[in-house]
Amino acid sequence: MIPISVVTVDDEAQQLVIEAMRTGRLAQGPMVARLERDFAELIGVRHAVAVSSGTIALVAAMQALHIRPGQEVITSPFTFVATLNAILEAGATARFADIRADDFCIDPNAVAGAVTDRTAVLMPVHLYGQPADMTSLAPLAERHGLHIVEDAAQSHGARIGDRAVGTFGLGCFSLYGTKNISTGEGGLVTTDDDELADRLRLLRNQGMRERYMYEVAGHNYRLTDLQAALAIPQIARYPEQVARRRHHASYLSMGLSDVPGLVVPHELPGRTHVWHQYTVLVTEEASMPRDQVVAELNANGVGCGIYYPRIVSDYACYRDDPRVIPADTPVAAKVATQCLSLPVHQHLLESDLDRIIEMVRKTLGA
Ligand SMILES: *Cc1c(COP(=O)(O)O)cnc(C)c1O
C-alpha cells in the first residue's frame, strides 16, 4: 500500500527529544523558544508563538484581536471543520463565501458580497498547501477595515511572490501528526505586530507575564518542550522536503493531465504551493464516479483520501446554530463531490509515483 501520509521521526529529532527529557524541562521551555525562533525565520516574520494546536492558534488569534459575540468571520466552507469550530469557540459568527475551483480557496468576489456591518475578520484557508489569492484579499480586507486571520494549517512556507502566508495578518499553523511539519499535536501563530505577539503570549499562559501577575483572563495553550524538539530538525530540512513534494506533484501531473474526466491541480502564477495534498477532481466526464475511483484505488494499493466530502456548514450539528450562517456556495458544494487526494509526500519513490499514475489511468480507462 502506498500511504497518503507517512510520519517518520529521524535520529536528530530523537536525540533532541532525549536532550529535552534529560534537562527535565518537559513543559514549555528552551526548546519551544528555539522552535519559535526557527519558525519565525522560515516564514520571515518577527514573531511566532507556539501553542497546543492549530485549532487553538485560530482561537487565540481571534481572542488577541478582541473579537466579540455577534461579530462575523468570513471564511471558506471547503475546509477542515477546525476552521469553523475555532470561530464558534471564540464566540463569533461564521459566514461563508464560495471558493474558486482553480485554487480551492475563498473567492475574493464572493467575499466582497459577504461583508456586512458586523464583519470583523476575514479568515482565508490556504488549502492543500496553496495560498489563497491574498493579492486581492488583503486590499479587500483593508478597504472594509477587517482583520485577517489566516488558516495556514496546511501551508507552512507557501508564498505569494516572496511573501509567506502567515504574514498578511495573524498566521495560524498546525503541527498535527499529518501536516507538513509535525509535533503530533501543536500549533503556531505568526505576526509582525509586537503588541499582538505579547497578548498571544499572555493568553497562552493564564494571562501571566510573571508568575501570579495576571494581566488578562488567559488559558493554558502551551506546547511542551518534548513536542517542540520534534519539529526543530524538520524546519531545518523543510525547504528540501518541499522541493521533493513539488517534484512529485509535477511528476504526477505529467502522467495524469490527459486523463479524460480528471482535472489535475495547478500552482497558480505568482504563488508557491507547498503540496500538503495533491488533489484532483473527478468530473462528470470520468468513466466512473469519484467514490468508486477511491474504492478502486484503495483496493489496488494506492492510498487516497477525500478532503473534504461535504462543506462544513452541511452537517446537522451546525444547521440550527444561529452563529453558522449558511450561504449558497455552489462551487464548494460541487468540488466536495469531485475531489480526491493522491499521495504526494516526500517519502515517495519514483516507482510509487509510476504506480499511482498507472493505477489512476487504468481505473479511469485512460
Ligand atoms: C489541521 C487543520 C486545522 C486544525 O489544526 P489542529 O492542529 O489539528 O488543531 C485547522 N484548519 C485546517 C484547514 C486544518 O487542515
Instruction: State the Cα angle at 246 between 244 and 249, rounded to 5°.
Output: 110
In one-letter notation, the amino acid at residue 158 is A
Strand partners, 44: none
Rounded Cα gap, residues 67 and 269, in angstroms: 34
CA of residue 53 to ligand 1 center, whole Å: 8
Query: Tell me, what's the pLDDT at 9?
Result: 94
Cell numbers for 210: 510573571
Q: Which residues of 211-229 are buried (b: 16+ CB within 10 A; e: fewer)?
A: eeeeeeebbebbbbbbbbb
Please give the number of the atom of ligand 1 that sits closest to the Cα of 79.
13
CA of residue 6 to ligand 1 center, whole Å: 17
Query: Tell me, what's the pLDDT at 50?
Result: 98
CA of residue 358 to ligand 1 center, whole Å: 32
Rounded Cα gap, residues 191 and 172, in angstroms: 9
CA of residue 182 to ligand 1 center, whole Å: 12
Q: How many CA atoms lie within 13 A of 132 on its CB side?
A: 36
Q: Is 150 in the pocket of ligand 1 (CB under 6 A)?
A: no
Q: Are 155 and 131 in contact (CB under 8 A)?
A: yes
Q: How many CA atoms lie within 13 A of 84 on its CB side?
A: 23
Torsion over CA of 149, 151, 153 and 157, rounded to 10 degrees?
-70
Please give the number of the atom of ligand 1 that sits closest to the Cα of 186.
7
CA of residue 130 to ligand 1 center, whole Å: 15
Average pLDDT along the chain, 366 residues, taken 10 residues at a time: 93 96 95 98 98 98 98 98 98 98 98 98 98 98 98 98 98 97 98 98 96 95 98 97 98 98 97 98 97 97 97 94 96 98 97 98 95
- Return the SS3 of 211: coil
Please give the number of the atom of ligand 1 that sits closest to the Cα of 53.
7
Instruction: State the Cα angle at 246 between 366 and 109, rounded to 5°.
Output: 85
Q: Is 172 in the pocket of ligand 1 (CB under 6 A)?
A: no
Q: Single out the residue of 307, 163, 182, 283 nearest to residue 241, CA to CA.
A: 182
pTM: 0.98
CA of residue 150 to ligand 1 center, whole Å: 12
Extract the runs of DSSP E, i.e. beta strands, from the chain. 47-51, 72-75, 93-96, 119-123, 147-151, 159-160, 163-164, 170-174, 187-191, 208-210, 213-214, 262-263, 271-272, 278-282, 324-325, 339-342
CA of residue 322 to ligand 1 center, whole Å: 23
Q: Single out the residue of 237, 218, 213, 261 nearest to residue 360, CA to CA.
A: 261
Q: List the alpha helices (DSSP H) in 29-114.
A: 30-43, 54-64, 82-89, 108-114
Protein residue closest via CA to atom 7 of ligand 1: 54
Q: Is 82 in the pocket of ligand 1 (CB under 6 A)?
A: yes
- Return the SS3 of 48: strand
Q: Is 153 in the pocket of ligand 1 (CB under 6 A)?
A: yes
In one-letter notation, the amino acid at residue 43 is I
Please give the number of the atom of ligand 1 that sits closest to the Cα of 187.
7
Helices (H) and strands (E) in the chain, counts: 12, 16
Other beta carbons less than 10 A from residue 172's beta carbon: 33
Helices 225-256 and 30-43 sit at what angle, rounded to 10 degrees?
A: 30
Q: How many residues does the chain have?
A: 366
Please give the number of the atom of ligand 1 that sits closest to the Cα of 176.
7
In one-letter notation, the amino acid at residue 86 is A
Q: Single out the residue of 159, 164, 163, 183 nearest to residue 235, CA to CA.
A: 183
